[in-house]
Amino acid sequence: MLNLYELEQLSAFARYGTLSKTAEELHISQPTLTRTMQHLEEEFGVSLFFHGKNRLALNETGQKAVEYADELLAAAKNAVAQVRQFDISKRTILVESCAPAPLWSLLPALSEQFPEKTISSRLTEIPAILSQVKDKTCEIGILPFPAEDDEVESIPLIREELSVCLPPDHSLAGQPSVTLEMLNGYNCLLKSDIGFWSDLCRKKMPASRFLVQTDDFEFRELAQTFTLPYFVTNLAVDMNFVNGRAVVPVSDEEANVTFYMIVRKGEAGYLKIAQRIAGLQGK
């Protein structure tokens, strides 16, 4: 029976070209490698090499054997990765969200409900979320709209409403609300890792330039020091850094969204958590 370790040696021999170089790279002795090549010929039942004086080289059949060996090695590597990933999935709940705010209440609720599991999350582009829920890449998806698909269920989770923080003397500070079109052309301070909100701002404000900050502390320092407008939402935990600015709601429909939890049908336990979170926000 073919041995994967011997196939690895055959593949390495094809890459390095000589027994001495292959043995050196694999940290084995040359006689050991020679015996492996002989054993492989016995297993295949055909000649794989040109046997010259003090030299071994692959013949055409040997080159074909290397192709199949590489395929088997790749399949074996993939099988190990898939089994490990399956084991992780049995112990992990992965949430893929289009924005960070829904995770602030959902992740603690999942940890409380499933203490035996690891809760993991990542921000993902909207078009990929539904497909990854359906193919079981993740257990839960968060979208800013319900998914119209017979394989999944959607339940309202939480609502997020965007506002812009403006200096008191800003020309728009006295408005009851503004649109992103009205803000277009004003340079703004923007946080990184805010999911689809970043794409929305750039799409609706093409004439604006954004000073993007990855560090939360630095963002707050700049927000208190500079006069650049910046965005907040109704879900912000700490609003102390607003510091006397005018907080003006953004009235665009796309800036006021209800997030939906997307799960495969039959996942009633997850849906109950979504109902609880939605109920808490409604109080």
Name the residue among 120, 67, 69, 78 with its Cα closest to residue 96. 120
Cβ-contact 162, 197 below 8 angstroms: yes
Cβ-contact 92, 117 below 8 angstroms: yes
26-55 pLDDT, tens per residue? 999 999 999 999 999 999 999 999 988 778
Q: What whole-number distance in Å separates Cα of residue 227 and Cα of residue 245? A: 10
Single-letter code of the amino acid located at 109: A
Using DSSP's 3-state secondary structure scheme, residue 71 falls into helix
pLDDT, position 33:
93
Question: Which H or E run contains 190?
Answer: strand 188-191
How would you label 146-178 residue by residue, b for 16+ Cβ within 10 Å and e otherwise?
ebeeeebbbbbbbbbebbbbbeeebebbebeeb
Q: What whole-number distance in Å separates Cα of residue 200 and Cα of residue 192? A: 13
pLDDT, position 59:
95
108-146 pLDDT, tens per residue? 999 988 888 889 999 999 999 999 999 888 899 999 999
In this structure, the number of other CB atoms found within 10 A of the CB of residue 253 comes to: 6
Cβ-contact 93, 133 below 8 angstroms: no
pLDDT, position 177:
96
Query: What residues of the chain score a pLDDT lower than 50?
Result: none
Beta strands in 91-131 (DSSP E): 92-97, 118-123
Query: At 121, phi and psi to the nearest 5?
Result: -145, 160
Q: What is the mean pLDDT of the chain?
A: 90
pLDDT, position 276:
78
Cβ-contact 259, 157 below 8 angstroms: yes
